[in-house]
A and B are shown apart, each in its own frame.
Chain A
């Protein structure tokens, strides 16, 4: 059984650093996986929340419900914070 974590599906080092920072700030576990879209990442996540590339930016997706991304944006720190707060059930703060 995998430990609870949000899954980030990318190999972009700059994105990984900023998304990791957001998760460290929120105190929420993050797992980095091979590049895939956000929905695929969400399905891999025991918490049902995934982050993946979307066009030039990033998307946060949920494992259930419509397959469209839940939030899209281009600021990795902000998208990371949104995904982490979604997992922690905290208000998401500023949105793209």
Chain B
């Protein structure tokens, strides 16, 4: 008889097919996996299960007589991205961070924004900052020189195209000139503005200081304090533009704290900046429609030893929030039974299945502690001294994807690749610099769009995915590992506290998709080093790596029982 052990995770569904012959150990025929369709445990997730079972049994030429499930309450996990910098109140100061790979001049100056085309008349009594549209650099320089000869007090220049140095060389090399200002057309003509260009290798100082920024923009002391977010937003940039806007009415000072309801009926404010993650026992968070079993949030990783970079990352205050809600229905079971000829059998609790599956790792003997690091949750399964404990903690691989995406500014799909794969900096078309500083030579030149970019490198096909960020591979690798530590290792710690600790010297087997990532395994081992556990990556049946522990375990338990 053919049976199919099925494990539906938040991100991945796994199916183990085996032939059962009474009196003999099960003969495993295949282990397959595919993306989970719909939310875990719902009728929609049955579609993916049936598809995987059908594909595997087609190859086999024989459909399974039984589909084996674990007895698990479906868990809904969700991710919410909290505040981002665009929502921040900049205190009535508009900012622009021009690309300006090659600005001209050095220093900061303030003046009234004026169109180059409007400089043919008499000069105003104040200093001006002309805005040069896309046009020939010689013509632009001629216009500017002509206006200056007629008394216009030009203190800085904003250039739409990539002509900053060309115009500086033809007008005045000492003037701060920012270029590649794509949204120059949106700058409010007539408004008072400040422009700063830092020396090469350095970053803006005046615009990054709220008081100097306020003085440049002639803000009164009360508004100077409100300019701090604008100043912070320019930290770490070589060139910047700040524009005084009329104070907006009653904008919020910061993203409002969220109200969370606790299990005992109490209420707390979940202020993502100040509340430590993982208080547990949160049953509801304001704005999220579900009864929660767990909530976990973490800010973006920062570089603690680099204040400038830490500030730059801080301005994106996106915070990942993972929530977990338990449901009581049997939707998956019912949907599978309705759509398949196979008998659907609930074999055992998920913990028993995970332990049985993980125990097939060569050399393990019996694996009483299984740490399942999946997409939505980190699950800790313990079967020790006749006692069974299981904890699902919200926040795992998918939350790491979101955090990586927020750091790099890419969508979750590319972020998932960036999380898994290592990165390189393409120094020249022929030279790659790796995360440890090592350099390798290419036989074929790298594509032009990758040159001088941080790229996600796929070793299997040698492809390079260029990222817009200016992070170095060395730094990105640190932030990426920090994200894994902050989410998966921290969450596991929480789960261990919740089960009342683990006995030293015992074996803990890591399974689940995240256990395929050596960086996660390393971070987990480091985070648990004080517990003195034997931490090993699972290798299910000695050939499937850390995948499919539950699916294989279900088959084993079912064979034992029948």
Residues of A within 8 A of B (CB): 21, 24-27, 62, 64-66, 70-71, 81-82, 85-86, 89-93, 95
Tell me the bound Cα distance from A89 to B429 in angstroms: 9
- Over the window 434-449 of chain B, the binary record of Cβ atoms lying under 8 Å from chain A Cβ atoms (1 yes, 0 no) is 0000000001110011
Could you tell me the distance between the alpha carbons of A70 and B443 in the complex, rounded to whole angstroms? 14
| A64 (CB) vs chain B CBs: closest residue | B430
Q: A25-B165, A25-B166 are in contact. Are A62 and B445 (CB under 8 A)?
A: yes
Q: Please encode chain B, from 501 to 537, with 1 for each CB lying within 8 Å of some chain A CB and 0 for all others.
A: 0000000000000000000000000000000000000
Q: Which residue of A lies closest to B166 (CB)?
A: A25
Chain B interface residue number, banded: 20 to 34
Pair B165/A24 contact, Cβ less than 8 Å: yes
Interface residues of B (CB under 8 A from A): 101-102, 137, 162-166, 169, 427-430, 443-445, 448-449, 451-453
Cα of A25 to Cα of B167 in the assembled complex, Å: 9
Besides the contacts A26-B102, A27-B165, A70-B429, what 12 more A-B pairs have beta carbons closer than 8 Å? A21-B166, A62-B445, A64-B430, A65-B444, A85-B451, A85-B452, A90-B452, A92-B448, A92-B452, A93-B101, A93-B162, A95-B448
Interface centre among A90, A91, A93, A95 (most CB of B within 10 A): A91
Q: A24 CA to B163 CA in the complex, in Å? A: 9
Q: Which of A21, A66, A90 contacts B444 (CB 8 A)?
A: A66
Is B451 a contact of A86 with CB atoms below 8 Å? Answer: yes
Task: Return the chain A residue nearest B167 by Cβ.
Answer: A25
**A87, closest chain B residue (CB):** B428
Chain A residues near B163 (CB-CB < 8 A): 21, 25
Q: How far is the CA of A31 from the CA of B178 in the complex (A)?
A: 27
Determine how close the nearest CB of chain A comes to the CB of B218; give it in whole angstroms. 33
Q: Is the CB of B451 within 8 A of A91?
A: yes
Complex alpha-carbon distance, A21 and B445, angstroms = 27
A89 touching B166 in the complex, CB below 8 Å, given contacts A21-B137, A66-B445, A70-B445? no
| B162/A81 in contact, CB under 8 A | yes
**Cβ of A74 to closest chain B Cβ, rounded Å:** 16
- Chain A contacts for B101, CB-based, 8 A: 85, 90-91, 93
User: Can you list 19 residue pairs at the A/B interface with Cβ under 8 Å?
Assistant: A21-B137, A21-B166, A24-B169, A25-B164, A27-B165, A65-B429, A65-B430, A65-B444, A66-B444, A70-B429, A70-B448, A71-B448, A81-B162, A82-B448, A86-B428, A91-B453, A92-B449, A92-B451, A93-B162
